[in-house]
Structure 1
Amino acid sequence: MKKRTPVSKIMTTNLISVNASNDVADVVQIFKENNIHHIPVVSGDELIGMISKTDIDRISYVNSYATEAANAVVYEMLKLEQVMTSELETIQAEDQIKEAAELLAQGKYHALPVMEGKKITGIVTSTDVIKYLLEQF
């Protein structure tokens, strides 16, 4: 097994990001259209948060009788900054995959923004780490 492989080898680099002025409903649509689970929230080049499908599920009216209209009302009431996670754990592109695995194993997050200095260049998820480990066997 390669022990010193950097996160940059397994991270997703074709990022879709949003900014805090985006509506929650816009973000929901981005999730649906792109089949992704995490979206960085940026202000210019600065990473200010991360929004996940789980964050959206928490605010959605989760009930078998819920209508899309009920969820739309909830989405309109909230700003993206109220829904996103703003205290993030990040990792540098040159850090080892083992370090990402250790952070993800703590269970607080399922994705880590990958940074080069202060600029986000990718995302590494628990799924990326598992796929990497499977390739090693």
Structure 2
Amino acid sequence: MIGNIKIKEIMTTDVMSVHDSENLSVVAKIFRENPIHHVPVLKGKRPVGIISTQDLFKLIFDFDSTDTRMLDTLLDHTYKIKDVMTDKLVIFEEESTLKDAAKILSDSSLHSIMVVNSKGDLTGIVTTTDLMRFLYKNIE
């Protein structure tokens, strides 16, 4: 049964992450150079938040200036990732089921779930895209 498959079977394991004390320019570069929309924020190896393209867009659109040099300064010096990230996380262990992940992703406005091992270290991420890709490949 598809619902009983462990999320470790469908999660993305090659996860780009940032640390909460880094400048926003670090995550802006990741978004610019990679086709991703969510980046886990870590303290050590443990997830403490998530930052999305939407979080950055909100900051940029709330910024009241057309001077792009000011925006660069804002991203490089004014804000750290921890100032903009979302710290309300959904974290599942690797042995959680696809059914559990699908329920959370479909019943909320969330688009990603962080996956940790038994020590609490980040081992992957499951996004709505991962879930849809898996379902598409397994439709009979």
TM > 0.5: yes
Alignment of 1:39-54 (within 5 A): 39-54=39-54
- Residues 45-100 of structure 1: CA distance to partner in whole angstroms, max 9, x if unpaired? 2211111111111111379x945434324323222111001121111111111110
Residue in structure 2 matched with residue 127 of structure 1 by the alignment = 129
Between structures 1 and 2, the one with greater helix share? 2
Q: Write the distance in 1 (CA, Å) between the matches of 2:107 and 2:29.
A: 30
Q: Write the distance in 2 (CA, Å) between the matches of 1:66 and 1:34.
A: 26
SS at match of 2:125: strand
Contiguous gaps of at least 5 residues in structure 1: none
- Equivalent pair of 2:10/2:130 in contact (CA under 8 Å): yes
Cα gap change, 1:66 to 1:5, in 2 (>3 Å): farther
Residue in structure 1 matched with residue 55 of structure 2 by the alignment = 55
- Residues 26-55 of structure 1: CA distance to partner in whole angstroms, max 9, x if unpaired? 110111112211111111122111111111
Residue in structure 2 matched with residue 84 of structure 1 by the alignment = 85
- Equivalent pair of 1:60/1:74 in contact (CA under 8 Å): no
Residue in structure 2 matched with residue 29 of structure 1 by the alignment = 29
TM-score where L is the length of structure 2: 0.86
- 1:15 and 2:15 aligned: yes
CA deviation after TM superposition for structure 1 residue 116, in Å: 1.1
Q: Write the distance in 2 (CA, Å) between the matches of 1:8 and 1:131.
A: 14
Q: Write the distance in 1 (CA, Å) between the matches of 2:69 and 2:47.
A: 31
Identity %: 32
The letter for the 1-side match of 2:102 is A
SS at match of 1:129: helix
Q: Write the distance in 2 (CA, Å) between the matches of 1:67 and 1:33.
A: 23
SS at match of 1:11: coil
Count of matched residue pairs:
136
